[in-house]
Structure 1
Amino acid sequence: MKDTTEATPTVQTLLILGASGDLTGRLLLPGLARLVAVGRTGGLKVVGAGAEDWSSEQWKSRLHDSFEAAAKEADSAGAQALQAMEDSSFYRQLDVTAPGALAGLVASLEGPVAIYFALPPQVSQHTCEILEPGQLPEGTRLVLEKPFASSEDSARNLNRTLLRLVPEDHIHRVDHFLGKATVLNILGLRFANRFLEPVWNRDHIEKVEIIFDEDLALEGRARYYDRAGALRDMVQSHLLHVMALLAIDAPATVGERDLRDAITTILRASRIRTPYDSNTRRARYTAGQLDGRNIPDYAKEEGVDPARNTETLAEVQVEIANWRWKGVPFVLRSGKSMGVRRKEAVVTFRPVPHLPDGFAGVDAANQLRIGFGPDTLRLDVDVNGPGDIFTLDRVTLDAELNASNLLPYGEVLEGVITGDPLLSVRGDTAEDCWRIIDPVLEAWSQGAVPLDEYDAGTQGPASWPLRGGG
């Protein structure tokens, strides 16, 4: 595999396909705006393209609305850079499925060009399949949203398609949930503290739980979400990567090749054991209240096909078959319409083997909690409490970790523009994530695991374990 530490040309034009869609307006353009405002894009130009027949005024209005918040916070240089980008930008109506249409537009733009596929996955895949080798100018970068394909086989086929068009180090499979600050925070915590690494193994850790519970319902995304579900949408991509970062051995460097090699090594050793009705769970929310709003039954949400049995809450127990982690369960859970928003990893340590007679008080295991967005750290410690010196009390040490001055999509775009693939998912890694999840999806489709229910605004089905002590 090519070593991507060598310098690569900076992208001159960002072409957004699906520019009139929700992702572009809600996340992509605001992330770009903050990146421009802090002076980290040079003279980048942005071009929008989509199936809708938008006028220049419509596109400029979208840019202005998306840039407005960043412009208010920017200094004069940042505000001028945002205005310059807005003035130079334009929109083209484009049928990306028409042979030659996308290649013709890219050829007309100042290169290198990064093509951002803010499109449904199946449309992105078809668009790449009809492109011919040599149609894209040298230096073109392809940026694809998750989910990357829909299975291990389809991911492998899509990787072959993309590699016909550009080299691997010009393919960015983005995971905006893992920003650079979060990745480096985890690595710094793991490998810069001598007291942690000796106990970061099966001898001292009982379990690791990674929880991404959202206090949001569908929010108009039924068209995508009902075909994906929580397992594909969150566990297959984001949570497996968080797990890998928590489980890797120390890489030689935090360069993209060393780090991504370490991540892939962990994922290759990972699997979900049968029986799946013991090691996986799925559920769907019913009507309830969330932040004072009445949330309808998921099956009655507009755009939902109840016959698909799409889960809105998924939980799997992953085994990592290596020396360090043999026997330690990694529980990955993500759900929608949950009563408590939780984005954290909870590391539960084994109890001390012997507590001298005479002490009383705390008997619960110590836990380390790593919060994501904002990134925080909480460590439980048992100390002799006030009053009776023989009674142990639980105290928690809190710290805020480093925060980026960029939005998540700004961090993604900075890597694309500068040619740094650190935050991108490598092709073999994308295939391994599907290999881990595919058998579970098949078992669920055959009804091997019951589809439980929970009221919107609660913490999940009453019969499920309460994870992380939350």
Structure 2
Amino acid sequence: MPQEITTLLTFFGGTGDLAKRKLYPSVYNLYKKGFLKEHFAIVGTSRADLTAAEFSDMVRESINHVVEDEDNAKEFISHFRYIKLDVGDEAGYQEMLKLNNELDAQYELKGNRIFYMSVAPRFFGTIAGYLKSEGLTTENGEFNRLMIEKPFGVSYETAEQLNNQLHEVFEEDQIFRIDHYLGKEMVQNISSVRFGNPLFDAAWNKDYIQNVQVTLSEVLGVEERAGYYDDAGALRDMIQNHTMQIVAWLAMEKPASFTDKDIRAAKNVAFNSLHIYTPEEVKKNFVRGQYGENIDGTQVKYLDEDGVPEGSQNDTFVAGRLKFRSARWDGVPFYIRTGKRLKSKQTRVDVVFKKGISIFGDDIELENPVLSILIDPKGGIEFRINAKDTTSDFKTRVDTMKWQVSYLDMERTPEPYERMIHDAMNGDGSNFADWNGVGISWKFVDAIQDAWDSEHAEFPNYISGTMGPKASDDLLAEDGNHWIYK
């Protein structure tokens, strides 16, 4: 039986695209499953002029695809309220405080409050300051928590400034920095595969692993996001957050227990051992790219996309080699890559184990066993092993054991935002980024970006529909390795 959660959840940016596509359906799924019952309320805020009925209609439309019982949906929506708010206007927070107190009494919410910021990052600090100064954070509740969408800063300096602003109001364990990749089912499977199987747990180190690869490839180009993307690029948009958070699950030490405190501590041991590159080291260890036309010319190059400045040096592809200065990973490269307009949409982890020494004769060479965790678009696990070939002579061949997430499992699996909202309600920070990891990721990325900003690159340097520039393959070849996913 699900345990009911008592809380008031406020969505800043409550009429935005994210709220309608992801947040309201996720909360409704929690309601259908019994995690929310009677003692909850939800407040949506934005600058839009909406009546209570118009807001209710908007919420009802946003959850339409997951509604199975009309009366159930109607009761759920009765817990919603809307308030027009200019987040920079101090007076508006007093109206919100009055509404919050009324809802607290009506639904017996015990002063428990969660504030979800789905607004432009420049407003995060402003909102947090007013939450404190205008009394919206409670003293008598069991919890006050803050959920924040990415990006968390655009550099280490801006991230640190934002973090300091938030810490004036909230403690670190009250801040839940969202990275929706951490809510994906197969990302969460990394820990169960690694720590739940002694075979992998014992071999998860430099003695048995040759290299680790993380790929986040996209088929789409910049589309209509040039205004944002040309400032961010693949490095800031995908490496600093999603990729580094996945790497943390792979590189972390074994936690003392599977609690958020110990998990974060184990991740931070890995983060703290990450080597930050000098400009010369960036040249040796990182590759940047920008897509050109595809072979038949039906897709334009990045420089010809709407809104892209002439001569832009923005990266749409990044590949690199990470080094951890730790006893566990000394000498083991972690290869990462992400990019737009690549051959296929694919998010995956490939753990390449060392070759065994063949006892079968000089003419038989064994291959590297590979454990692959497939995250998107279809979840699954593959384990490539050496086995006997079915011939009269004794030879070996590579066979792959495969498991794929079933359609039934897919239907049962919570969406990432549903899982993250539920975790935040329970105070579980396991699948959220903490400041130490975010800060080190920014220092790492800033060092790369600074090196790139000091030199002009010749773009475009890869054809749309491929897996990026040749230099990405050369990077691994230098170590005698190759990308598992081609």
**Alignment TM-score, normalising by the size of structure 2:** 0.85
- The C-alpha deviation readout for 1:114-158, integer Å capped at 9, x for no partner, is 221111222324433565556332233211111211222322222
Structure 1 portions without partners, runs of 5+: 1-7
1:430 pairs with 2:428: no
User: 1:30 Cα shift?
Assistant: 2.9
* Alignment partner, residue 12 of structure 2: 17
Report deviation, 1:398: 1.1
Match for residue 344 of structure 2 among 340, 343, 348: 340
Aligned CA distance change for structure 1 residues 197 and 12 (closer, same or farther; 3 Å): closer
Matched position secondary structure for 2:67: helix
Question: Closer, same or farther in 2 for the Cα pair 1:31/1:316, shift >3 Å?
Answer: farther
**2:74 & 2:227 partners in 1: Cα distance?**
34
Report whether the alignment pairs 1:420 with 2:467: no
1:53 aligns with 2:49: yes
Q: Secondary structure at the match of 1:460?
A: coil
- Tell me the secondary structure at the aligned position of residue 10 of structure 2: strand
- The one-letter amino acid of 1:40's match is F
Query: Which residue of structure 2 aligns with residue 3 of structure 1?
Result: none
For the 8 Å contact 1:134–1:165, the answer to whether it is kept is no
1:30 aligns with one of 16, 19, 25: 25
CA change 1:88–1:248 in 2 (3 A) is: closer
1:279 aligned to 285, 289, 303, which one?
285
Distance 1:421 1:9, change over 3 A: farther
Letter in 1 for 2:225: R
CA contact under 8 A between 2:367 and 2:386: conserved in structure 1? no
SS, match of residue 14 in structure 1: strand
- CA distance in 1 between counterparts of 2:309 and 2:85 reads 30
Cα offset for 1:9? Answer: 10
User: Match of 1:372, SS?
Assistant: strand
Distance 2:4 2:153 in 1: 28
In structure 1, distance between residues paired with 2:294 and 2:460 = 15
Q: Say if 1:88 and 1:196 are closer, same or farther in 2 by CA, change over 3 A.
A: closer
The 1:449–1:301 alpha-carbon spacing in structure 2 relative to 1, beyond 3 Å, is closer
Secondary structure of the 2:383 match is: strand
Match of 2:368 among 345, 365, 386: 365
Match of 1:66 in 2: 62
2:287 counterpart SS class: strand
Answer yes or no: is the 8 Å Cα contact 1:315–1:334 preserved in 2. Answer: yes
Deviation for aligned residue 1:417: 2.1
Find the residue that maps to 1:467 and give its secondary structure. coil
Shift of 1:199: 2.2
Residue-by-residue CA offset, 1:294-344 (whole Å, 9 max, x unaligned): 544333333433555322221221111001101111111111222211111
Secondary structure at the counterpart of residue 165 of structure 1: coil
Change (3 A) 1:285 1:183: closer
Q: Work out whether residues 358 and 366 of structure 2, in 8 Å CA contact, stay in contact via their aligned partners in 1.
A: no
Once residues 84 and 223 of structure 1 are traced to their aligned partners in structure 2, the CA distance between those partners, rounded to angstroms, is 41
Instruction: After superposing the two structures, state which structure 1 stretch, 80-89 or 161-170, moved more.
Output: 80-89
1:327 and 2:322 matched = no
The verdict on how the C-alpha distance between 1:30 and 1:9 changes in structure 2, with shifts beyond 3 A counting, is closer
**1:392 and 2:408 are equivalent in the alignment:** no
**Which amino acid is the alignment partner of residue 426 of structure 2?**
T
Match of 1:248 in 2: 252
Amino acid at match of 1:416: A
Distance in 1, Cα, partners of 2:462 & 2:6: 47
Looking at structure 2, the residues matched to 241 and 405 of structure 1 have their Cα atoms a distance apart, in angstroms, of 21
Shift of 1:447: 2.3
> Mean alpha-carbon deviation: is it higher for 244-253 or for 178-187?
178-187
Partner of 2:479: none
Match of 2:73 among 74, 82, 89: 82
Structure 2 residue 349 is the aligned partner of structure 1 residue 349: no
Give CA deviations for 1:264-321 in whole Å, capped at 9, x if unaligned: 111011124342122111112234499xx95443333334335553222212211110
In 1, the alpha carbon distance for the partners of 2:35 and 2:404 equals 25
- Structure 1 Cα separation of the partners of residues 261 and 379 of structure 2: 25
Which residue of 1 is the match for residue 114 of structure 2?
Answer: 114
Q: Which has the higher mean CA deviation after the structures are superposed, 176-185 or 411-420? A: 176-185
Deviations, residues 386-439 of structure 1 (Å, cap 9, x unaligned): 123412111101124676621111011111222222222222222122122111
Q: Please, what is the CA RMSD of the aligned residues?
A: 2.8
Change (3 A) 1:51 1:222: farther
- Quick one: distance in 1 between partners of 2:220 and 2:93? 35
Q: Which amino acid aligns with 2:483?
A: R
Q: 1:421 to 1:198 in 2, by over 3 A?
A: closer
Secondary structure of 2:63's partner?
helix
Percent of matched pairs sharing the same residue: 26
Q: 1:95 to 1:280 in 2, by over 3 A?
A: same
Structure 1 residues 181-330: aligned runs within 5 Å? 181-182=185-186, 184-274=188-278, 275-288=281-294, 295-306=299-310, 309-330=313-334
- Partner residue, 2:448: 440
Query: In 1, Cα distance between the equivalents of 2:121 and 2:158?
Result: 11
Q: CA deviation at 1:450?
A: 5.7
2:107 corresponding residue in structure 1: none
Q: Against the structure 1 CA distance between its residues 395 and 258, is the aligned structure 2 distance closer, same or farther, given a 3 Å change threshold?
A: same
Q: Which shifted more, 425-434 or 323-332?
A: 425-434
**Of 402, 409, 418, the match for 1:410:** 418
Q: CA separation of 1:145/1:71 partners in 2, compared to 1, >3 Å: closer, same or farther?
A: same
Q: CA deviation at 1:20?
A: 2.6
Give the superposition deviation at 1:103.
Answer: 5.8
Distance 1:36 1:446, change over 3 A: farther
CA contact (8 A) 1:100 1:131 kept: no
Counterpart-to-counterpart distance in 1, 2:75 and 2:299: 43
| Alpha-carbon displacement from aligned partner over 1:223-263 (angstroms, at most 9, x marks no partner) | 43333221112211121121121122211211100001101
Structure ranking higher on relative contact order (CA contacts 8 Å, 6+ apart) = 1
Partners of 2:60 and 2:73 within 8 A in 1: no
Unaligned runs of 5+ in 2: 105-110, 474-481
